[in-house]
Amino acid sequence: MKLHDVLLVARRDYVAYVGRRRFWISLLITPAIFLAFMLVPGLISQFHGARHYAVVDHSGWLLQAVEQRIEGQDFAKLLDLAAQGSAASATKLPATWSALAPQAAKLDAASRATLGQALASGAPAPTDPAAQMIWRQRDALLHWYASLTPDAAARIDRSLYVARFQRVDTPAASLQGATAQGKLDGYFTFPKDPLAADAAYTYASRNLTDTDLRDWYAGAVSAVVQARRASRAGLSSDEARLLAQAVSFQGQLVTEHGHKAVTAAEKVAQWLPVGYVYLLFISIMQIAQLLMMSTIEEKSNRIAEMLLAAIEPSDIMAGKTLGVAGVGVTLVGSWLVIILGLLATVGAALSMGGVAAQILAGISAWNIVWFLVYFVLGFLLYAAVMGAVGASVNNIREAQPYMTPVMLFLMLPLILMVPVAQDPTALWARVLSYVPPLTPFMMMSRSAAPPPLADYIATTALLAVTVVIALVAAGKVFRRGLLNAGAPPKLRELMAWARSR
């Protein structure tokens, strides 16, 4: 193999791809899709506007209690905004609330939540001096909230319930018609005895697949009903809260050296293998196919024979593989930088910035090294196959029958990804790790466990040998296939090419 010739071909192919407009489009389109996933749901909800609903309260008391609860939650959010004291919060809040910033900042989040409920319900005044100063503004705050429109609330903060949901007083006889005509998104009906075990609550809507309104209101009503049930049973609110508290197990990671509590970063890290496998899949799928298409292009443009006369077919193939690998590294590396940047910037604005930090903290050097090893070997293996396919056919359509088994091997790891991540030490997972076309994916799926060092070494060695065999065989198919202008070879003929001198 002549390194000069390999690098020459690699450089040409790399520049040919990176210099094309469609490369930059594909480089930007994946992060753009990612950005859309982040922004579109929020934009759609803005466009959707507030949902309108009505309530038929046969109990005579539940509606008022729920309204107070919802108001209390909004008051708590407004106090949180005031407490932030940042320039962004200050410009959003009206003077009524921004003036309370010093007092709100003195309270912790739990106190602000309690104060918010108290402001809404008129519960006994708090004892804390800062809370008392806020309490004195209660009438003004209630008056302001009562006149707040959904649009005005959305300008302050879209997470305020008054921005998203608006109750409309509607006569019972008009409810069905108003809902059918779209004037109401739905209406709720409370039973006469909401606290009974068999109390029947209903939600009527033209679109029952939209659960946003229903789930939100059900949560608010449940909280009120549970509190009332607890009170009726003679329990204090603290006792009721304790009763309702579910049991959760704190994760402890067991290693050879003992066990320790799992950090948030480590929890993220346990699911990073899914990300590795996706990245491997996308990289190999998109990039290795470039090799096939570039080879088909050279055949159809009648360049192939001129190349074969100048340099060895194995050097052509190695150069094209290297060039395409360079394109892949550029593409995937750029995606990673852009996506992590988006998470840190746009994501921070959407309260997702911590995700980027957790992902970065969860990535270990060990996993990076093995990811790169398996990426390179996996890419070479599939590139060899796809290069051979490209050399054997005259156009994309002829390549389809050959691509079916290749795609099967590529899709199988995606299907097994989650089961392997859930049970990385399973015997079947270990066995499949030794099937060379599956090795990169299976080993990265198991990396959270992590697999024994012997598995890393043995699977890598087996994969490397397979790659060498594949590249040699593909080189022979490449040599024969590039000169073949007739019908594509049958599988038996292809095997004969691979075994030929």
- Least separation in angstroms between residue 496's CB and another protein is 9
d(CA 458, CA 69): 61
Token reading at 135? 């309490």
CA distance 268 to 271: 6
Q: Residue 493 CB, nearest distance to another protein (Å)? A: 9
CA 325 to CA 327: how far, in whole Å? 5
Backbone angle region of 302, left / alpha / beta, with phi > 0 → left and psi within -120 to 50 → alpha:
left
Measured from the CB atom, is 123 or 485 closer to another protein? 485
- When the beta carbons of 11 and 183 are compared against another protein, the nearer one is 11
Task: Give the whole-angstrom CA distance, residue 271 versus residue 23.
Answer: 30
Closest CB to another protein among residues 13, 71: 13
By beta-carbon proximity to another protein, the closer residue of 308 and 376 is: 308
Instruction: Decide: 394 and 299 in contact? Cβ < 8 Å.
Output: yes
Cα 69 to Cα 75: distance, rounded to the nearest angstrom: 10
Closer CB to another protein, 15 or 152, in the complex:
15
Specify which residues 204 forms β-bridges with. Answer: 187
What is the Cβ-side half-sphere exposure of residue 262, based on CA atoms within 13 angstroms?
16
Q: Which two tokens stand for residue 158?
A: 């879209």
Binding residues for another protein (CB under 8 A): 5, 8, 12, 16, 19-20, 301-303, 305-312, 483, 485, 501
Q: What are the φ/ψ torsions at residue 311 (nearest 5 degrees)?
A: -140, 165
Q: Which is nearer to another protein, 16 or 240 (CB)?
A: 16
Q: Residue 393 Cβ, how far from another protein at the closest point, in Å?
A: 17
The residues, any chain, with a CB within 8 Å of residue 48's CB and separated by 6 or more, are none
Shortest Cβ 372–another protein spacing (Å): 30
Smallest separation, CB 39 to another protein (Å): 35
Q: Which is nearer to another protein, 209 or 301 (CB)?
A: 301
Shortest approach of another protein to residue 382 CB, angstroms?
25
CB of 321 to another protein, least distance (A): 17
